[in-house]
Amino acid sequence: MNEEALTKEILETVVQQEQTEETVEGEVLDEAAEKIAKLEQQAAENFDKYQRSLAEFDNFRKRTSKEKATMYDDGVRDTIEKLLMVVDNLERAVAVQESKVEENDGFFKGVQMTLKQFQEVLHGLGVEEIKALGEQFDPNFHAAVAHEDDKNYGENEIILEMLKGYKYKDKVIRHSMVKVAN
């Protein structure tokens, strides 16, 4: 073999090796690009799952907070409803005895103070009396238990409150029982 043929053969071998290296590098790069694409897709899916989980947890937290507040308000309303019977009885006792009691009657003053304290506690909890006497009848706040035709009063005017009504946080606990004119 002569030098020229040997050089040619060496060049061909070098070119083949370079082509083989380029092919191998290309295959390695293609595999790496595929792996990167798969990992990016998996990362995007995981990030989406993470965001959904965060949103779901936030909604759960808000919902349980609302339920907790609702349960508290329902418990307060139920308790107040039961206490209103005691307040009604104290008011009746005070109304009946006011004209008959001497000024120095300590027992009666104690009953009055107890009634006042009950009313202050209810007010402090956010309980409000529903206005009735002289107001227009509103079925959202009043329950008509009697009716009277009387030209001295306006149409659907409340002329007598038989039992006070109360509301707590804009929800009626007990409707006012009233007598309505015309």
Q: What is the pTM of this model?
A: 0.66
Structural element, H or E, at residue 146:
strand 142-148
Per-residue pLDDT, 51 = 97
pLDDT for 104 equals 62
Burial 140-156 (b: 16+ CB within 10 A, else e): ebbeeeeeeeeeeeeee
Domain positions in the chain are 128-182
CA-to-CA distance for 151 and 149, rounded, in angstroms?
A: 7
Q: What are phi and psi of 55, to 5 degrees?
A: -65, -40
Instruction: Return the pLDDT at 101.
Output: 66
Amino acid identity of residue 26, one-letter, is: G
41 - beta bridge partners?
A: none
What is the C-alpha separation between 107 and 36, in angstroms, rounded? Answer: 88
Instruction: Specify the pLDDT at position 41.
Output: 95
Q: For 128-182, give the CATH class.
A: mainly beta
Alpha helices (H) in the chain, listed in sequence order? 3-97, 106-125
In angstroms, rounded to a whole number, what is the distance separating the alpha carbons of residues 153 and 160?
Answer: 11
- Which residue stretches of the chain have pLDDT < 70? 1, 24, 101-104
